[in-house]
Amino acid sequence: MRHALIAGMGDSIAAGEGNPDRAVRLSDQGFCFKRFGGGEYYRPGRAGFSGNKSCATMANEDTRAGDWAQQSARWLSGPCHRSLYSYQMRTALALAIENSHLAVTFIPLGCSGATINAGFLNNQRARECPSPGTGAACSGTVRAQIAELTELLAATRRHQADRSLDLVLLTIGANDIFFSGLIANVMIEPGSERSLLHRHGIIATVDDAQKVLDRELPGNFAKARAALKPLVGGNLSRVVYVSYGNPALAGPNTPCAGGRDGFDVHPAFAADGERLRQTVNFVSQKFLPGIRALARCEDGCRDPSAERMSFVDLHQAAFASHGACARGADDPAFDRECFSGTGETFESSLTKAATDPMTCGYPASEFRPYASRARWIRTANDSYFTAMTYPEGLPSVLQPSDLHDALWGLFAAVYGGAVHPTAEGHAAMADAALPVARQALGLPGPDTLVSSEPLPLPNLLPPQLPSSGR
């Protein structure tokens, strides 16, 4: 019996952000959010919450924040939004399943929000508490992935002095070039929300990202290589770098059109077509080639033969047809009937929305986060309906005052995985990574063909309208 020691490392893509092990349960009633500058709106709330769902709160009122937190989505790691659906977990699991004489130990360390400096090499802020609403300890920070892995490997070497990692699955670099800031720049319209986020450095432009890509990322990537090298026996070909898919393509070399399709969960959201085109082109023409060159030592390394990583990008062609704007005739009925392409998903009347925030007639609880669909990228609507995250570790100036605060309306729509791969997207990434992982481990392919097909869609019946009595 051979033993393979495998680590999964990197950022939100490595962690599986957007795909909680237990998705949030949606209430069919509305939950009120305030808006900056006045006004309010309703969206589906969390099922099981017994507190005040309106924005009309009284002074010293018990907001039942603990009750709200208990109804949150659950993750393999809440602080990192690490998921069992991640491509890294899938790849390690596939290696174990197809090799009956291979014992796989998988160490998942990927963490949402990680950059090379903050998260990979040093500590970072936690995304959420480990067990929200339970009163369990919540430090607010996550230990550096390299420190965690070094300690685990040191314990192993007490029993086997020359033990190294057999394989590292790695995806990192997007947060270094402010990818979330680029997305915010595309999807938040001019107004109070955009002004606030810009003032606190949450919005970034393509020029900002290009400067970091040119001036900082090469040096940071060299630091990452240096930190990994002693953990893999000096041979970085054991590091399988799995690149990103471009999330906003309507087809090969064709950006999504923009608009409110998939992004009307917040009144201030609408993908600006021109900024979207610029961002898609930057990702395709600058960032993805740049990260490939760094991983493969195409721009120079001190010892390319030992420092060149194994590289995976075969999934990028498939993602080009499954971007955030992809729609299909076989999409779930809820998606086809309820997610409006023109920004009319939600009831605008506050009176009606308080009892039913959807305009389509289907209850919000009929949303199926893991049903097969054309898009492999979570929209902001998907993110809210799947995770509805109230993140921890926010700067004090951005700390919301109560459950209905305008900031929570913004954060709940994006911090749970907006513009991140769905479970199907992660499956495609794992399929691309698996042959390269086998090669790095010196393993043969599977002896038998494995057939796969999606599960049948749930039988979702259209809503029954009340009888007119005539």
Task: Identify the CA nearest to 29 among candidates 464, 356, 321.
Answer: 356
Question: Does the pLDDT of residue 452 top 60, yes or no?
Answer: yes
Task: State the pLDDT at residue 400.
Answer: 82
Question: Does the pLDDT of residue 470 top 50, yes or no?
Answer: no
**pLDDT tens per residue across span 380-417:** 999 999 999 999 877 766 778 889 999 999 999 999 99
Between 131 and 325, residue with greater pLDDT: 325
Average pLDDT score, the chain: 93
* Fold observed for domain 2-441: Rossmann fold (3.40.50)
What's the pTM value of the predicted model, to 2 decimals? 0.93
Task: State the pLDDT at residue 447.
Answer: 67
Task: State the pLDDT at residue 454.
Answer: 64
Task: State the pLDDT at residue 446.
Answer: 79
Question: Does the pLDDT of residue 139 top 90, yes or no?
Answer: no
Lowest mean pLDDT among 52-61, 65-74, 344-353: 52-61
Lowest mean pLDDT among 158-162, 296-300, 450-454: 450-454
Task: State the pLDDT at residue 466.
Answer: 45
Task: State the pLDDT at residue 329.
Answer: 97
Question: Does the pLDDT of residue 460 top 60, yes or no?
Answer: no
Between 300 and 255, residue with greater pLDDT: 255
Question: Does the pLDDT of residue 35 top 90, yes or no?
Answer: yes
Mean pLDDT of the region 183-208:
93
**pLDDT tens per residue across span 270-281:** 999 999 999 999
Mean pLDDT of the region 373-380:
98
Mean pLDDT of the region 44-63:
90
